[in-house]
Amino acid sequence: MIWQRLSPIWRTCIEDAWEAYAHNSLPHGAVITDAEGTIVAHGRNRIREQIGEGRQIAGNRIAHAELNALLVLDWQAVNVYGCKLYSLIEPCPMCIGAVRMAHMQEVSYAVRDGGAGGTTLIDKTPFFNDGHIHITEPQDAELETVLLGLQVEATLSQKHPNPEAWIDLLTSKLPIGKTLGYALYESGLVPQWSREGKDAGFMVDQIHEQLLRLK
């Protein structure tokens, strides 16, 4: 069982991602904590939703989870220099750029993205170098595989364009995520759990069981 060992931060991140899945967007979530580790903002991918919530944006290609978390952050109430962004998947170039523009210095993510991941940009320009962003790569290999499998399944079941080529890039650093994702897609179980209103913890632990069966 994976869910039991996850912190409230990662649970919130995955719950947001699962909500995005229910709205037919790729399952990405993001959480911001203050220097004490308290959750001060969170958001989800809303690319395929028509209406945002509060300051969160929706219905366009830049409605990414990390941007939405940054948009709902109360900048007057927190010291942004001490904040940390947690993202389900490696932030894309736009989102790591937004982290830099926000003057945030700590980023942690749960799943590597060999396609759209943009964290290698953090030493590529003088402005990025001056930002001293510290990246924490995935710390939980089982969780990373489970959530990568979910990404692959969603890419297929939500009928995103050019899925095979995209999945090859996405899973290039962890190919078992591709095997798991295709097995999940063929089972048809993930959309079923979503329709039945199963919670994020159920989803994670069920996918983990599928992973153990693959091994």
Q: Which is nearer to Zn ion, 141 or 169 (CB)?
A: 169
CB of 51 to Zn ion, least distance (A): 20
Size of the site for Zn ion (CB under 5 A): 4
CB of 39 to Zn ion, least distance (A): 20
Q: Is 57 in the site for Zn ion (CB under 5 A)?
A: no
- In three-state form (DSSP H/G/I as H, E/B as E, the rest C), the secondary structure along 91-126 is CCHHHHHHHHHCCCCEEEEEECCCCCCCHHHHHCCH
Nearest Cα to Cα of residue 9 among 104, 81, 86, 73: 86
Q: Which is nearer to Zn ion, 87 or 145 (CB)?
A: 87
Contact segment (CB under 5 A) with Zn ion among 86-94, 166-174, 183-191, 194-202 equals 86-94
Nearest Cα to Cα of residue 181 among 200, 195, 163: 163
Q: Which is nearer to Zn ion, 70 or 207 (CB)?
A: 70
Q: Going by C-beta distance under 8 Å and a sequence separation of 6 or more, which residues neighbour residue 99?
A: 66, 70, 85, 91, 107, 133
Q: Which is nearer to Zn ion, 2 or 90 (CB)?
A: 90
From residue 94 to residue 113, what is the string marking binding to Zn ion with x (rule CB under 5 A)? xx------------------
Phi-psi region of 2 (alpha: psi -120 to 50; beta: other; left: phi over 0): alpha
CB of 141 to Zn ion, least distance (A): 23
Q: Is 64 in the site for Zn ion (CB under 5 A)?
A: yes
CB of 87 to Zn ion, least distance (A): 8
CB of 214 to Zn ion, least distance (A): 29
Q: Which is nearer to Zn ion, 92 or 146 (CB)?
A: 92
Listing DSSP states for 14-56 in one string gives HHHHHHHHHTTS---EEEEE-TTS-EEEEEE--TT-S---TT-
Q: How far apart are CA 17 and CA 88, in angstroms?
A: 8
Binding site for Zn ion (CB under 5 A): 64, 92, 94-95
